Chain A
Amino acid sequence: MNNYENNIIILQAGELIDGTSKEVKKNISIVINGNSIVDVKPTGELNLPKELEHQIIDYSDKTILPGLVDSHVHLTGIGDGRSGDELSELPDEVLSINMANNAKKHLHSGVTTVRDCGAKNNTAFHLKKAAEMGIAETPRLVLSGRPLAIIGGHLSYFGEEITGINECRAAVRYLIKQGADFIKVTASGGSTKTSFPLRPSFSQDEMNVIVEEAHKFGKHVAAHCHNSESMIRSLTAGVDTIIHGVFKESDGTNKYREDIVELMLKNNVYLNPTLGPGLMRVETMENKKKAGVFTDIDQEESDKVSIEHEHRLECFNRMHKAGVPMSAGSDSAWGAYEMGNYFLDIEGHVMGGQSPVEAIMSATSIASQSCWIENSLGSIESGKLADLIVLDESPVNQIENLRTVSQVIKDGKFIDRENLL
């Protein structure tokens, strides 16, 4: 029997996507008590004690889904196309102000939990402090603080450049001391000017000690991998999430690797495929073409972008079919990907072969599993925290309807999406 306390709200959903089930349910009542979901039942079958005070909200023409979990954000990003190298030159205070803005924007768009995959110095931890003090309105924050990088490696400008197993161990311990919820490691180079995307960065020994130390303290590890070799090293070390997961040989050729996929399946490793940025790059080139100003160099660039994106989509499709759990995560506001547009990444999952409901699962329950928070978040079930969103239009056949968010509920509270303070 449920122990009701106060502030009971019943949401009568016309349609419910609960996050864990592929089945779309009709006419479901969700009972929220304080900050928790305490019951989920067909509307006719709900039996509340009569004397209990409650408020019923009619969403019979709307769809309710779990609050979205974005398993890959950079709150520090601006999303106006500037590089990470440029971003890291901004003072911490400026980045902090930007992070608070981004956090609010993402929350208002329907994302109730984010996993932040790397910010400069202590800014991520300070944002959390500001949120706890009530001066910043943010989604729930799962933080890495600073990403671990080799000297000159990807994201090394954020302040955690380390070498050797002792420094790796110390860095993990120090981040955990500061409040890190997980460890992000750049296992290969990336967009950072001084890094090498086609080479793994940390040695196997270094990777091993990072994962060992993180796991010892109950923290998961997510590894940025822009080539196949870095994926093998990461999987051998035992990481929990592979980010990007680009199948590229060290000479730059694209090659799908069954052996790596098998390793991922065997170890139950999540993939965060980050299809959004590629999708945006393709769109940008197409728009440029439509605008009419298109040089030979543009055409070359456009072809390259398309080939890479096709490769990523194809690999996504094969891995999805093979059963690799796909954790959606936007990678915004990195590069030109502005915060508040998580739906683009989720639409990418549909292009890659998931059904809309599967893609929503990727952005809710699966993302929460990859963030190690599935016990309390990522689905609409009795016992979970009350993070939910209401859509005006059903996304079941039209994933673009994820853009029709009309209410965001976090921790049992309706968010004032017009609060610009």
Chain B
Amino acid sequence: MSEQKVVKSKVLIDMVNDKPVEDGAVIFENGIIVLSGHYEKIKDKIHPDAKIYDYKDKIIIPGLVDCHTHHNGFGDGRSGDEIGTMPDDVLAIQSAKNAKTSLYSGVTTIRENGPKNLTMMRLRDAVNDGLAIAPRMVLCGRPVAIIGGHMGYFGGEVTGEDESLALARQLIKEGVDYFKITATGGSTATSFPLRPSFSKDELYAVTNEAKNYDMLTATHCLSMEGIDYSLDADVDMIIHCNFDKSNGESEFDPKLTEKIIEKEAYVNPTLHVGRARLWSLMEGNDPSLGGFENKRINSVSITNDRKNVLDARLDMAKYGLDVKLDHCRKMIDMGVKVITGSDSSWGDYALGNTVHETELLVESGYSNFEGLKSVTINAAEALGLSDKAGSLQKGKSADIVILDKNPLEDIKNLNSVSEVFFMGEYINRGSIKSNKSYAQNRPIVKE
């Protein structure tokens, strides 16, 4: 018989009940939750030799689920184009380090949205060989892109229905879990964010193959035509979901939003990646300009008399974030299934800080509890992992995070991670100093 473990504390937020359980406990064996609930009610199911972790006044929540990560990345302002030039071995080392960062920060499930070549599949190999530790990983292999399209440098450039289908099959052969498609351009210098990338037929070639194997799909969409194409192709998740027209103007579109709702697509709005850029600029950094920003500068109102380009970029970032927040608020109001997906470590947003995104979803209208749902149970559902992750329910994986402070009082308290259990194992996260090293905080600068 395997060892039984129990975590207990004053507050259990299991994400099954709408309210926290007072004096709660979670019992698990072999990495699977056997029972959870009020301690007094379930204590007779605890074996006499069970290992008890009593966290007293702390808060128990499920391990977090981040629907959008880039483990190849650095989050220090580097462009994707630059990452695309790095050797796979180096990116594999970085990914292994980032995976530990994710796990130590309380994220026990991630969906990877764009690594180079086979690097993340290799990280999974290393985990399976006992050479690395990582959260549960939902992998896309590499993103499907057009020639010169967004993240084409990661190794998945295709043209035409046949090549798109062939890449989909190749990725399945390599063992991917879902397909990530860049349906519009993005920060990639050679791409066009305001234009759809693939033709509808090319998109269908990939999404139909996905349906054939019950696999999920997600598309990167920085403009509305890409969103529309993706919905027609029955894509399951719209990423970024920028309401940009092909002329660069940004305007919320209720009709398109209704189509999102009707198609039951999830939306991962990626709000903080823009704020991370803002914070970086506020600190006086000069992060690399991606293609997106270059093109935006050409297409929107940066007037020529602005001498200080950095000031202009700062204004751009503020404006961009305000627009995104406004549109996100409207989507939430209309009832779109908006979930947390950090997009870290992309741009200036480093892994280990997933909850910054959740915080902005709360700023866009979610209650603290809904915010928590967006990074646990709802995120797990969006990834097709409702049977394994997202809540502390019987039969699910014992992915448990212990917090010092209650996130239902302030969503920022999700940052107060004290301990992490993954698949029933207590994770030794090392020194406190090393765990502070990855935190990105709001800069103390006058706005």
B132 touches A129 (CB 8 A): no
Q: Contact partner of B93 among A90, A91, A136, A420, CB < 8 A?
A: A136
B129 touches A94 (CB 8 A): yes
Known: A78-B131, A418-B430. A133 touches B126 (CB 8 A): no
Complex Cα–Cα for A217 and B249 (A): 61
Q: Which residues of B (405-447) have their CB < 8 Å from a CB of A? A: 428-431, 433-435, 437-438
Does residue B48 face the partner (Cβ distance < 8 Å to A)?
Answer: no
Complex Cα–Cα for A136 and B90 (A): 9
Q: Contact partner of A96 among B89, B429, B430, CB < 8 A?
A: B89
Known: A419-B431, A420-B428. A98 touches B126 (CB 8 A): yes
A126 touches B434 (CB 8 A): no
Complex Cα–Cα for A14 and B431 (A): 28
A135 touches B93 (CB 8 A): yes
B90 touches A130 (CB 8 A): yes
Does residue B250 face the partner (Cβ distance < 8 Å to A)?
Answer: no
- A91 to chain B: which residues have CB within 8 Å? 118, 122, 125
Q: Contact partner of B89 among A78, A92, A418, CB < 8 A?
A: A92
Does residue B279 face the partner (Cβ distance < 8 Å to A)?
Answer: no
Complex Cα–Cα for A36 and B51 (A): 49
Q: Which residues of B (126-157) have their CB < 8 Å from a CB of A? A: 126, 129, 131-132
- A420 to chain B: which residues have CB within 8 Å? 100, 104, 428-431, 434
Does residue A254 face the partner (Cβ distance < 8 Å to B)?
Answer: no
Q: Which residue of A lies closest to B124 (CB)?
A: A94
Complex Cα–Cα for A135 and B78 (A): 14
Complex Cα–Cα for A130 and B430 (A): 21
A123 touches B89 (CB 8 A): yes
Q: Which residues of A (98-152) have their CB < 8 Å from a CB of B? A: 98-101, 122-123, 126-127, 129-130, 133, 135-136
Q: What is the number of contacts between chain A and chain B, taking CB atoms within 8 Å?
A: 98
B89 touches A93 (CB 8 A): yes
Does residue B313 face the partner (Cβ distance < 8 Å to A)?
Answer: no
Does residue A416 face the partner (Cβ distance < 8 Å to B)?
Answer: yes
* Tier of interface size on chain A: 20 to 34
A89 CB, nearest partner CB in chain B, Å: 11
B104 CB, nearest partner CB in chain A, Å: 7
Complex Cα–Cα for A100 and B90 (A): 10
Q: Contact partner of A135 among B97, B429, B433, B437, CB < 8 A?
A: B97
Does residue A421 face the partner (Cβ distance < 8 Å to B)?
Answer: yes
Query: Could you say which of B100, B101, B118, B129 has the most chain A C-beta atoms within 10 Å of its C-beta?
Result: B129
A408 CB, nearest partner CB in chain B, Å: 14
Complex Cα–Cα for A136 and B96 (A): 10
Does residue A97 face the partner (Cβ distance < 8 Å to B)?
Answer: yes
Known: A419-B430, A419-B431. A97 touches B87 (CB 8 A): no
Known: A122-B87, A418-B434. A96 touches B97 (CB 8 A): no
Q: Contact partner of B100 among A122, A418, A421, CB < 8 A?
A: A421
On chain B, the number of residues with a Cβ less than 8 Å from chain A's Cβ atoms is 33
Does residue B246 face the partner (Cβ distance < 8 Å to A)?
Answer: no
Complex Cα–Cα for A129 and B119 (A): 17
- B430 to chain A: which residues have CB within 8 Å? 418-421
A94 touches B126 (CB 8 A): yes
A141 CB, nearest partner CB in chain B, Å: 13
B433 touches A126 (CB 8 A): no
Q: Which residue of B lies closest to A100 (CB)?
A: B93
B124 CB, nearest partner CB in chain A, Å: 10
A93 touches B123 (CB 8 A): yes
A157 CB, nearest partner CB in chain B, Å: 17
Complex Cα–Cα for A318 and B126 (A): 44
B93 touches A130 (CB 8 A): yes
A127 touches B101 (CB 8 A): no
Complex Cα–Cα for A94 and B96 (A): 10
B131 touches A98 (CB 8 A): yes
B87 CB, nearest partner CB in chain A, Å: 5
Known: A91-B118, A420-B429. A97 touches B96 (CB 8 A): yes
Q: Which residue of A lies closest to B352 (CB)?
A: A421
- B74 to chain A: which residues have CB within 8 Å? 135
Q: Contact partner of A126 among B87, B131, B438, CB < 8 A?
A: B87
- A90 to chain B: which residues have CB within 8 Å? 125, 129
A419 touches B434 (CB 8 A): yes
Complex Cα–Cα for A99 and B97 (A): 12
Q: Which residue of A lies closest to B95 (CB)?
A: A97
Complex Cα–Cα for A90 and B119 (A): 13
Complex Cα–Cα for A416 and B431 (A): 8
Does residue B88 face the partner (Cβ distance < 8 Å to A)?
Answer: yes
Does residue B94 face the partner (Cβ distance < 8 Å to A)?
Answer: yes
A93 touches B92 (CB 8 A): yes
Complex Cα–Cα for A421 and B429 (A): 8
Q: Can you give 26 contacting A-B residue pairs, CB < 8 Å?
A: A90-B125, A91-B122, A92-B92, A93-B88, A93-B125, A94-B126, A95-B89, A96-B93, A97-B95, A97-B96, A97-B122, A97-B123, A100-B97, A127-B89, A129-B90, A130-B94, A135-B90, A136-B97, A418-B431, A419-B434, A420-B429, A420-B434, A421-B101, A421-B430, A421-B434, A421-B437
Interface residues of A (CB under 8 A from B): 78, 90-101, 122-123, 126-127, 129-130, 133, 135-136, 416, 418-421
Interface residues of B (CB under 8 A from A): 74, 87-97, 100-101, 104, 118-119, 122-123, 125-126, 129, 131-132, 428-431, 433-435, 437-438
- Taking A91-B118, A136-B97, A419-B430 as known contacts, 14 extra A-B pairs with beta carbons closer than 8 A to each other, sorted by chain A number, are A90-B125, A93-B118, A93-B126, A95-B89, A96-B90, A98-B126, A101-B131, A130-B89, A135-B90, A135-B97, A416-B433, A421-B101, A421-B434, A421-B437
Complex A-B, nearest 8 residue pairs according to Cβ-Cβ distance, in ascending order: A420-B430, A93-B122, A93-B92, A418-B431, A126-B89, A419-B434, A96-B89, A97-B96
